[in-house]
Structure 1
Amino acid sequence: MTRPIILCDFDGTITETDNIISLMKHFAPPEWEPIKDAVLERSLSIKEGVTQLFSLIPSSMKDEMIQYLRNTAVIRKGFKEFVEYTIENRISLYIVSGGIDFFIHPILEAYGPFQEVFCNEASFSETTISIRWPYPCDEQCGSKGCGCCKPSILRTLSKPEGASVIVIGDSVTDLELAKQGDMVIARDYLAQKCKEDGIPFISFETFHDCIEALEKEGVIT
């Protein structure tokens, strides 16, 4: 049987909370909230919103922010077992995140291995934090402002012919990818938008639920 590939979000999916939001609440001035609201309302692109959010924070806070998330970020229950499950069943697991490298890699270092980790990159060379975008939208993306464009990443992956694409996520950054998936496992904002847009999905709260969904749907036989 051709094995599926899994594209899994990080913030709010692997971790219980969105780490960018956690950082903004703790380190940013009040101006961050209207920017966040504009992104969620989709009147501001994710790329522009994240750029503006991090420009509010001094680069000198890098180490403090990393330590803060090391102390506060909670990995969703079952993630360790889920990674082990994908390894045992020879399923390619990609982490695709609109989050930033400086906190994703430290938090994930105790897990894996993963097929690959895709995320945005931070630069601390200027007074405030600037963001680099190594995975931009391709010509087929209709949004053109994703930042880390998950559908574009999917189109670059070498996957076996006939392999199904499983999408796991929770937020606005996962919506366009969910439209491309053969199976969507969703929670929170993504689940709400899938329901509104008529995209079939399976709800989850823990990664034990994700394993159960894969078993129930018979993607592994």
Structure 2
Amino acid sequence: MTAKKKIVFCDFDGTITVNDNIVAIIKHFQPEGWEELVNKTISTEISIKEGVGSLFRLLPTSMKEEVVQFGISNARIREGFAEFVQFCKDNDIEFYVTSGGIDFFVYPILARYEIAEDHIYCNKSDFSGERIEILWPHPCDEHCSNDCGMCKPTIMRQFSEEQYERIIIGDSVTDFEGAKLADQVFSRSHLTEKCRELSIAHTEFATFYDIIEAMKQKG
């Protein structure tokens, strides 16, 4: 029997980065009405797609340069990430970034790690109108009705469980549907709480060095 090929689906905000960039951008510029929208999104009263789209719509496109610069400069990369990307390359493990983040900060931040753009899934931005619009090129398939915006389970389903050992790395409720499909889950923060709640096997991590060690031990 041929061994399954390992494939990693890694979240960006709060996972690759230490902080959540979307919330940080909105908190920094504090457009009127932002707090209620953030609370409704986090509590899942409204969908991720509706919440994030509405939050950025509060910002005028005249602020593009400031918003983009803050988004890039504010991000702090979690310890061991560069080494983990290299570990995946050295061990022939396919590595994908599956991010609910936005292209204007995700691509520039990840550029130094030489990850192919077709291995980075994220939302896109449109600065052509009066307000910032978020575009959603990776919507839910017929198996998901969560209005995810950037649907991680839909992407994972493109890689069959018969051929791939699917590994997910994440920190939030947006990673939970993907965790249900995964063979192995590396979690922190809200994702850990959700996995405990529904008895999904998971390994907690603080840095990417923890994940490297765990994957080495598992073989």
Give the TM-score band, short-chain normalised: over 0.9
Distance of 2:57 and 2:36 partners within structure 1: 14
Counterpart pick for 1:131 among 130, 134, 139: 134
* 1:57 alignment counterpart: 59
Please tell me whether the aligned partners of residues 57 and 129 of structure 1 are also in contact (alpha carbons under 8 angstroms): yes
Please tell me whether the aligned partners of residues 83 and 112 of structure 1 are also in contact (alpha carbons under 8 angstroms): no
* 2:124 alignment counterpart: 121
Distance of 1:70 and 1:118 partners within structure 2: 17
Counterpart pick for 2:144 among 138, 141, 145: 141
**Gaps in structure 1 of 5+ consecutive residues:** none
Q: Which residue identity does 1:184 align to in structure 2?
A: V
Distance of 1:118 and 1:70 partners within structure 2: 17
* 1:44 alignment counterpart: 46
**Gaps in structure 2 of 5+ consecutive residues:** none
Shift of 1:117: 0.4
Shift of 1:160: 8.2
Percent same amino acid among aligned pairs? 48
| Deviations, residues 76-121 of structure 1 (Å, cap 9, x unaligned) | 0000000000000011000001111011001111113246100111
Distance of 2:166 and 2:157 partners within structure 1: 11
1:181 matched to 2:182? The reply is yes
1:102 matched to 2:123? The reply is no
* 1:193 alignment counterpart: 194
Q: Which residue identity does 2:58 align to in structure 1?
A: L
Q: Which residue identity does 1:130 align to in structure 2?
A: E
3-state DSSP of counterpart to 1:4: strand
What is the count of residue pairs matched by the alignment? 216
Please tell me whether the aligned partners of residues 194 and 200 of structure 1 are also in contact (alpha carbons under 8 angstroms): yes
Please tell me whether the aligned partners of residues 28 and 56 of structure 1 are also in contact (alpha carbons under 8 angstroms): no
Distance of 1:35 and 1:123 partners within structure 2: 20
3-state DSSP of counterpart to 2:113: coil
Please tell me whether the aligned partners of residues 28 and 57 of structure 1 are also in contact (alpha carbons under 8 angstroms): no
Q: Which residue identity does 1:191 align to in structure 2?
A: T
Shift of 1:10: 0.3
| Deviations, residues 161-190 of structure 1 (Å, cap 9, x unaligned) | 432100000112111111110100000111
Shift of 1:74: 0.5
Distance of 1:95 and 1:168 partners within structure 2: 10
The runs of 4+ residues in structure 1 deviating greater than 3 Å are 159-162
Q: Please, what is the CA RMSD of the aligned residues?
A: 1.5
Distance of 2:126 and 2:218 partners within structure 1: 42
